[in-house]
Amino acid sequence: MTNNQSNASAASRMDGAAQWSTLNIVLHWFIVGLVAFQYFQGEWMIGFFDGGLENKAMDTATVSFGYLHIATGLIILAAVSVRLWDRLVQGRPPHPELAPNWSTLLARITHVGLYGVLFAMPVIGAITWLTGNEWLGDIHVYGSDVLIGLIALHVLGALVNHFWFKTDIVRRMIPVRVRD
């Protein structure tokens, strides 16, 4: 197989699946839950990080939630990695024909941004924790705002596709047993 044939084969897999794999759907919602958890308990990590830098005594909740934040971030990194691997191997459903080209382009850009931030956040967070670099810590905290903006754009896009363009975008990401 030539390199061009290999690239064409990979491209057809990426947009050739009839539907999302069950693994991809489960990981999508698992990551959503973990990101929501991280967002709402992230303040504990700030206290844990700052307390560690200043050599302060910390209460058990701060330490426990701090370590839980680190562990959850690493789980998110692993889950996103597996989801992208599954997407590469199984492919993804094509973008809906009823949606305009600008909508498809915006969806692709949003997904690249989401995956990029979902990879970068745990990596930057881990480096911050290991090095005590406050500047990277600030980047990590601001990254959560970027992530929330991308998530809002992603949800808005799904809703516009569902209600305005009348596509099956939302239905395709619902687990099969609930959908049928």
3-state secondary structure at position 168: coil
Amino acid identity for residue 137 in this structure: G
Which among 135, 124, 121 has a CA at the least distance from the CA of 53? 135
Q: 137 vs 180, which has greater pLDDT? A: 137
Question: Are residues 20 and 92 in contact, defined by beta-carbon separation less than 8 angstroms?
Answer: yes
Residue in the structure block whose two tokens are 């239905």: 171
Q: What tokens were used for 135? A: 């500047």
Q: 11 vs 139, which has greater pLDDT? A: 139
Question: How far apart, in whole angstroms, are the C-alpha atoms of residue 128 and residue 66?
Answer: 13
Q: How many other C-beta atoms lie within 10 A of the C-beta of residue 122?
A: 20
Q: Which whole-number Å values give the CA distances from 28 to 20, 57, 77, 118, 141, in the listed order?
A: 10, 38, 13, 12, 23
Per-residue model confidence (pLDDT) at position 137: 96
Q: Tell me the pLDDT band of 10, cut-offs 50, 70 and 90.
A: very low
pLDDT(16) > 50? yes
